Every structure is written in structure tokens, then in C-alpha cells.
Amino acid sequence: MAGAISHHALASTQSCGWSAQNYKFEKRTGNVRLVYEGSCRFGSRKLGLVCASGSQSSVVEPVKLPSDGNSSHTPKKSSESALILIRHGESLWNEKNLFTGCVDVPLTPKGVEEAIEAGKRICNIPIDVIYTSSLIRAQMTAMLAMMQHRRKKIPIIMHNESEQAHRWSQIYSEETKKQSIPVITAWQLNERMYGELQGLNKQETADRFGQEQVHEWRRSYDIPPPNGESLEMCAERAVAYFKEQIVPQLVAGKHVMVAAHGNSLRSIIMHLDKLTSQEVISLELSTGIPMLYIFKEGKFIRRGSPVGPSEASVYAYTRTLAKYRQKLDNMVQ
């Protein structure tokens, strides 16, 4: 599709020269500092600098928003938070070309490798709290990814479904709490419910109902499959949860990772990038590929995304993230 907004295209065009269409920040194509993340093994230095041009690289910082019309007032420099979005790795039903939706199936061996690779790509980015859907493929992806992080903190699922579950899962060591990362699961981040298509083979369904009808169920914004959810319905719950639960964490200065699904993440990206209902239906997200946003001064700024699972992971770091990476380097010297 010529007009499709592919995830890979977004990654390759925005990892070095950022579009200022939706966000207020500075576009620099001659002196962007790009960080190549290779292996994240302790004791090895696989990180290097790549210049977007022949000029010397430097760290890119978002432009400060103007003050409230008072030129004599200089706004205080606000903190920035990282937001990482990851679509889960390949599931067993992805492999079999079945409609999965809210059916709870695990990752394939390939999906496990994709999750591990995603973790390597974000191993230098601070993470304070993790959100996943209630489905095992998203939770597996989050856990496997965090096993690659250089801080080596342990992700622990928070069980608040009942008073007893909360009480029985308490941690009584403050030191252990410091070395842990809370993982919050939420059904609102689940894949959209495909209704009567769940468990059906996609090709066989197309042969039965026609390619055009199945394409309409899968790719239209407001037309649901039989007894299922449309993308619009999925967006209502996913974006509402994002605003109510995740944004306050970012406002508080927390760095957040969200491991979820193609449609719930497309809904969130539609909100972040201000995409139209026509643009979002053409947005493709690859499995196991992290996307990085910076939240600063009330704005979400897309900072980068790897161009593919076999490619080098490249991000344009802000000064804060560059300092954090240096701190991690110092910890293993």
C-alpha cells in the first residue's frame, strides 16, 4: 500500500531527522548523537557513536516550550521521562496464521528471541515501572526483555486482584524492593477482541468470507468483526487507561515500559502522534521492536526506533539519557 505508514519507515526516517509536525522540538540533522546498542554483556564495550553526517556528533535536547507570553520569565528546566512501547514477540497463533485476539497463547521460540533482542536494544534506558496486558505473550516479552537490562533489577508482577493476593505477595525487605521493578498488568492493554474470528485461520477466513470483507474487519477503524471489537473500541479502553494510569507515572518522573499488542499499541501511538483514523489503519508495528518516546514539559517526543529485528539499534539520546548510559558504564568498570 503506497500510502501505508509502516513502522519501519517511521523508524528509518525519524531516527536521525525528526519531524516537527506534531511536536515542538529542534530538528538537527547535522549533529545528532546516535547511540548504537549492540551486545549488553557486562564488561564488554559494544556501544559506539554514529554521526548523522560528517560533522562532530552532539547530544540533542528538546527545545524548551515558550513561556506564558512573559519574555522576562525563563521557565524552569523540567525533568524528562522515557516511554518505551514494545509489541510482544511472535506467538504460537501468529506462527499458525490464526486470529488470536484475547485468546491467551504463549510465545514461539522465535518470539522468545525477539523479546530478548528487544531487551538488548533498551538495556541502557532507565525503567522504573512496567505495564503489560493481562495476556501471557505480553508478560513473557516484558520479563525476557528486562533480563537483558544492565541494572539487573528483577521485574515482579503486582497482584492486586484481591486483598489476599495483595497481602500474600508483599515484599518485606526494603533492599529487595530497591532491586525490583513493579510489573502492572491490565486487561485494558489487551489485544482487541476479534469475536467470532478468534481461532480461525486467516487465509481460510478470507476464502470463506472474501478478502474484502476480512480486510474490512481487520483494517477498518470503526467496523468490528462479528461480536468483536473495532480498533475504535479498542482505542477507547487502551487510551483511557494510558491517560489515567501511565501518564501520571511519566509526569512524576518515572520511566515506563509498556509491553502490549499490535492494536492496543496502535491506539496509543495514534494518541501520541495525533494520527487520524485513516492514518492509524495503515500503521504497522513489528513484533519485538521497541519504540522510544521522551515525555518532557507535557509533550511526547518520538526519539527513535530500531529499523528491524536484525538491524543495529539506534537512538538519538537526550542529555539525561546519555548521562544515564555513562552511569551504567561506570558501574561495570
202 is in an annotated binding site: yes
Active site includes 191? yes
303 is in an annotated binding site: no
Closest CA to 26 of 58, 53, 50: 58
101 is in an annotated binding site: yes
Residue 84: strand, helix, or coil: strand
- Between the CA of residue 83 and those of 129, 172, 213, what are the distances in Å? 10, 29, 36
193 is in an annotated binding site: yes
150 is in an annotated binding site: no
Active-site annotation holder among 7, 80, 88, 117: 88
276 is in an annotated binding site: no
- Between the CA of residue 310 and those of 121, 128, 288, 289, what are the distances in Å? 11, 27, 11, 10
**What's CA 48's distance to the chain center, in Å?**
23
Three-state SS for 286-325 is: CCCCEEEEEEECCEEEEEECCCCCCCCEEEECCHHHHHHH
Active-site annotation holder among 61, 80, 191, 229: 191
Active site includes 73? no
22 is in an annotated binding site: no
Q: In this structure, what DSSP letter does residue 184 have? A: E
325 is in an annotated binding site: no
Give Cβ neighbours of residue 86 (< 8 Å, ≥ 6 apart).
Answer: 118, 122, 141, 142, 145, 257, 258, 259, 260, 288, 289, 290, 291
219 is in an annotated binding site: yes
31 is in an annotated binding site: no
137 is in an annotated binding site: yes
87 is in an annotated binding site: yes
262 is in an annotated binding site: yes
Phi, psi of 5 (to 5 degrees): -100, 90
Query: Are 86 and 289 within 8 A, CB to CB?
Result: yes
- Between the CA of residue 299 and those of 8, 82, 111, 204, 250, what are the distances in Å? 23, 12, 32, 44, 11
195 is in an annotated binding site: no
Burial 300-326 (b: 16+ CB within 10 A, else e): bbbbbbbbebeeebbbbbbebbbebbe
Query: Are 104 and 136 within 8 A, CB to CB?
Result: yes
Phi, psi of 51 (to 5 degrees): -90, 145
Binding residues: 87-94, 100-101, 137, 191-194, 202, 218-219, 262-263
Binding-site sequence positions for substrate:
87-94, 100-101, 137, 191-194, 202, 218-219, 262-263
Q: Which residues form the catalytic set?
A: 88, 191
